[in-house]
Structure 1
Amino acid sequence: MYYCNKIYPKINLFERKIREFILIILTKSFGVNWYTKTVNDDLKSEIKNKQKE
């Protein structure tokens, strides 16, 4: 448990930085509406259905 508590903050920070990097790349490549431009309608409806659950 000791090592988990030590490494978790580092993994969490790494994950946040990767997500931020991906968002920057998508925004620069496709603009602020990258989601509507790149995600197909089937996937959008699947995501909406899962959010309702």
Structure 2
Amino acid sequence: MPSPDPDFEKQKKRHWPTLIGIAAVLLLVIVAMLGFGVWDAAPIEEQAAPGPIEEGEG
């Protein structure tokens, strides 16, 4: 059975570290998604090309 008189102020004090952790992870995910979106949006022409491969005598 649920508590007949929940004390929300007490619950806020108990759970604030957890809520801050969840908010931090969500922020990190948003920043990572934006970062990968910008990374993938770079045109191929602007990316550095590998140098020519020189084959040795064998």
TM-score, normalised by the number of residues in structure 1:
0.49
Q: Which of the two has greater helix per residue?
A: 1
TM-score, normalised by the number of residues in structure 2:
0.46
- The structure, 1 or 2, with the larger RCO (C-alpha pairs under 8 Å, 6+ apart) is 1
